[in-house]
Amino acid sequence: MPSEVNKIRRTFLLTEFLHTFPISFIFPVYVLFLKDNGLSLIEIGIINTSYMFLVFLLEIPTGVIADVVSRKLSIVIGTGLYILAPLIYFFSSTFIWFLMAELTIGLGMCFVSGALEAWVKDKLDETGEPHNLGELYSQYFMVKRICVIIGGTLGGLVAIYSMRSVWLIAGIGEAIGFVIILFVMKDCHLNKPDKSLKSSLLSSMKSIACDSISFGWQNKLVLLLIMVATCSQMSGQALNMQWSLQAEKYFDLKSITPIWLGISTFMFLGAWWSKQILNDERKKKSLIFWSNILAGIPILIIAYFFNGWIIFSGFMISEFGRGVFPAAQKAYVQNLIPADKRATITSFDSMIQRLGMGIAWLSAGWIAQMASIEFAWLLSGIGFILTAMLSRKLPNGH
Amino acid letter at 33?
Answer: F
Q: What is the percent of the chain with per-residue pLDDT over 70, rounded to a whole number? A: 79
In this prediction, residues 181-206 reach a mean pLDDT of 65
In this prediction, residues 4-23 reach a mean pLDDT of 88
Do you know the residue count of the chain? 398
- What is residue 124's predicted lDDT score, i.e. its pLDDT? 81
pLDDT at 382 over 80: yes
- What is residue 1's predicted lDDT score, i.e. its pLDDT? 40
Domains of the chain: 1-192 (1.20.1250.20), 208-393 (1.20.1250.20)
Query: What gap in Å lies between CA 90 and CA 375, rounded to an integer?
Result: 32
> Of residues 202 and 291, which shows the higher confidence score?
291
- What is residue 222's predicted lDDT score, i.e. its pLDDT? 75
Query: What gap in Å lies between CA 200 and CA 180, rounded to an integer?
Result: 31
- Per-residue pLDDT reduced to its tens digit, 109-145: 888 877 787 788 778 877 777 666 666 766 777 788 8
> Is residue 335 a contact partner of residue 281, using CB atoms and an 8 Å limit?
yes
In this prediction, residues 84-101 reach a mean pLDDT of 95
pLDDT at 204 over 60: no
- What is residue 138's predicted lDDT score, i.e. its pLDDT? 67
pLDDT tier at 202, thresholds 50, 70, 90 = low
Mean pLDDT of the chain: 82
- Per-residue pLDDT reduced to its tens digit, 310-352: 777 888 889 898 888 877 777 676 666 665 555 556 667 777 8
Amino acid letter at 309?
Answer: W
pLDDT at 8 over 50: yes
- Per-residue pLDDT reduced to its tens digit, 168-183: 999 999 999 999 998 8
- What is residue 267's predicted lDDT score, i.e. its pLDDT? 85
27-31, 253-257, 273-277, 297-301: the lowest-pLDDT one: 273-277
- What is residue 59's predicted lDDT score, i.e. its pLDDT? 72
Query: What gap in Å lies between CA 340 and CA 39, rounded to an integer?
Result: 46
> Is residue 134 a contact partner of residue 7, using CB atoms and an 8 Å limit?
no
Global model pTM greater than 0.85: no
- Per-residue pLDDT reduced to its tens digit, 207-260: 655 655 566 566 677 788 888 989 999 999 999 888 888 888 888 888 888 888
CA 285 remoteness from chain centre:
22
pLDDT at 262 over 50: yes
φ/ψ (deg, to 5) at 37? -95, 15
- What is residue 279's predicted lDDT score, i.e. its pLDDT? 60
Query: What gap in Å lies between CA 115 and CA 66, rounded to an integer?
Result: 6
